[in-house]
Amino acid sequence: MSKSLIRSHSIILALCVAGLFTYAQDSTKAAKKWHTLAELYMMFPNMNGTTGLGALPDVDVKANPGDIFNRLQMGAMLNLEFSKDKWTIASDIIYMKLKQDAEPGLIIANGKVTAKQFVWGVAGLYRVTPWLETGIGINLNSLKLNTDINVNNIGSGITNRTREISQTWVDPMIIARTSSKPGAKFIYQVRGDIGGFGIGSKFAWQVQAYAGYRFSKLFQLTGGYRLIGADYEKNNDQQGVLNNNRFLYDVTTFGPVIRLGFNF
């Protein structure tokens, strides 16, 4: 083999090694950079559960997306994620103000329940395998309920009774999720949370599943389904007498979700 051929092969080999080294450095630098995902999203919720205020009878709440959007006065939902290497810090904000008809029954003739709900979830996650992240978080729940109901009297007639109470509590959460690799075009995510443990709610939980497509480095669109449950009660008299400051919120919210995401 001629010296010129050896020299040319040596140059090509050196360039390849240099290129691989540069790529490895760039990949390492990219892994060390913070990646931000901001998602505006809309949930089409169903609600099913029970609310109770003070000495008033408990009210069964059942609503589908049509009911809720007819009565929705304001709503805002935003998810933020900050990722670096194997770590992710996530923040999820939900705010809704709505009115819902009370389910009539033996005691309740008719009425309305007005709710202002703010939920802020913050979580820290660590990627333990290429497909699994685990972590812990807290959910701050702030809820203002107003019940205006007509109660059936024994014999005949009805009596109007109203009550408004605000309550704020914090639920610790344990979280696990699996998701597509960072930068993938076809994206998916499945997440499950459990918590409360009597510290805030008796029990709190949620399940989320999404799939979608990343159209560019900036823009992605996903859709899926979400279920959120909370069983919270305070100032309940154990002797069976309803405390005037009692607050009960045992409601599951569930429905399809559309998420519009931006990557930075």
Which whole-number Å values give the CA distances from 2 to 7, 16, 129, in the listed order? 9, 21, 50
Look at residue 214 and tell me whether its pLDDT is greater than 70: yes
**Phi-psi category of residue 124: left, alpha or beta, with phi > 0 → left and psi -120 to 50 → alpha:** beta
What is the percent of the chain with per-residue pLDDT over 90, rounded to a whole number?
48
Residue 67 tokens read as 């009911």
Helix and strand numbers, DSSP H then E, in the chain: 2, 12
Which whole-number Å values give the CA distances from 104 to 62, 131, 135, 165, in the listed order? 11, 48, 42, 22
What is the band of 241 on the pLDDT scale with cuts at 50, 70, 90?
A: low
- The closest of 36, 89, 42 to 65, measured between CA atoms, is 42
Question: Residue 26 in contact with residue 18, Cβ under 8 Å?
Answer: no
Report how far residue 208's alpha carbon sits from residue 187's, in angstroms, rounded to the nearest whole number.
Answer: 14
Mean pLDDT, range 208-229, rounded to an integer? 96
pLDDT, tens digit, for every residue of 104-139?
Answer: 777 777 777 777 889 999 999 999 998 899 999 999
User: Where are the domains positioned within the chain?
Assistant: 1-32, 34-263
The structure's pTM equals 0.77
Calculate the average pLDDT of the chain.
82
pLDDT, tens digit, for every residue of 50-88?
Answer: 988 877 778 787 777 666 656 555 568 999 999 999 999
Class of domain 34-263: mainly beta
Q: Hey, is 2 helix, strand or coil?
A: coil
* Res 84: pLDDT: 93
What is the band of 24 on the pLDDT scale with cuts at 50, 70, 90?
A: very low
